[in-house]
Structure 1
Amino acid sequence: MFFSVNDMNNTIVENWNSVVNDNDTVYHLGDIALINSKKEDLKRVLEILKKLKGQIVFLKGNHDSRALFKFIDKNNVILPDGRMKFTFIDVGLILKLNHYQLFLTHYPLLVGPSKNRVNVHGHIHHSSVNSPWNINVGVDSADIDYLINKLPFGTPISEKNLFKIIEAKLIDHKKRW
């Protein structure tokens, strides 16, 4: 798919910036980079992150070190609208959108059957939790396949596309169960 890690990183930056505006907020659900905590590696990750448009709210993933989060926070920048470019959350958060409670986490969380509670998560690669109430939004998630118009690799999932995925997965799950 990519010739090198740099090729992948450049593709992600390009695809991200094609849909994210400076005033947008993107929730990154963990596993920013799989690196050690050497200063040169931390700097390299920070330089890539600074190229991404918008404010980024990071939820800690199992591959995210405290050293990385501390380094990013120490070198944080203020956006033109006065917000910090990077903010950090350890476990998860709840967003209320379109009459839904969205539980944003890194690991899948079983929220149980409900008409308005959905866990939006990362962590699982190339597969999906067999529940319409769990949506995997990782860059290599199978749930992204519910979108009719495929997203280029590394493109953040918009609120509009998230609800398309939720709807399509609910319909698919009803057919099979």
Structure 2
Amino acid sequence: MTVFFTADTHFGDHRTINIQKRPFDSVAAMDAVLIERWNAVVGPGDIVWHLGDVARRAADVPALLARLHGVKHLLRGNNDPDATADAPGWASVASYAEIDLAGHRLIMCHYPFRSWNGQHRRALNLHGHSHGRLKPMLRQYDVGVDARGFAPVTLEQIIAA
């Protein structure tokens, strides 16, 4: 079992292609690449922490989750209404989480923090929201697809980048 992190997929959202200058000709092409790259790295028994902003339409989320490999946890973003959080297929839903993984304390939320619990004890802040455009602080990492090749990433990949 491998643990992955991602954020800001914005499935089905044509605005994200324009605003974030994503390299896709259409929403269908973007969604196809996001699903393909997700399933290429995530296996059925792997864990994925999605740090928010899943999809434009909450009604699409159950079918998307059924197509995506892994046990999926959601940390809600500003574009995740109650219907997204309530969709079947999430193992858990929260706004914030702290976990220990591979000798690291991870402080996770959709939003990047200026300071976080354990920051001065080497805890890492994983976030989305900024679409790769925010200059990170020490031990702070954007796990959003725009910053990570449009695919979920492991902690090892995050730290190595």
Q: What TM-score bracket applies, with the shorter chain setting the length?
A: 0.7 to 0.9
Which has more radius of gyration? 1
Question: Partner of 1:93 in structure 2?
Answer: 97
- Higher strand proportion, which one? 2
Runs of 5+ consecutive residues of structure 2 not aligned to the other structure: 1-22
What TM-score comes out, normalization by structure 1 length?
0.70
**Residue 61 of structure 2 is aligned with which of 31, 40, 45?**
45
Q: Which runs of 4+ in 1 moved over 6 A?
A: none
Alignment gaps of 5+ in structure 1: 77-84, 145-150, 166-177
Match of 2:107 among 95, 103, 108: 103
Greater relative contact order, per chain length (Cα 8 Å cut-off, separation 6+): 2
How many angstroms does 1:46 deviate by?
Answer: 2.0
Q: How many residues align?
A: 137
Deviation readout 1:44-79 (Å, 9 max, x if unpaired): 332122110111101110000012222x1xxx3xxx
Identity of matched residues, % = 31
* Superposed CA offset, 1:130-174 (max 9, x none): 311211111113xx4xxxxxx4x2x10113212313xxxxxxxxx
Alpha-carbon distance, 1:34 to partner = 2.3
Q: 1:132 aligns with which of 133, 138, 141?
A: 138
Q: Is the 8 A contact 1:129 1:135 kept in 2?
A: no
What residue in structure 1 maps to residue 122 of structure 2?
116
Higher helix share: 1
TM-score by length of 2: 0.77
Matched, 1:158 2:125: no
**CA 1:11 to 1:34, structure 2 compared with 1: closer, same or farther past 3 Å?**
same
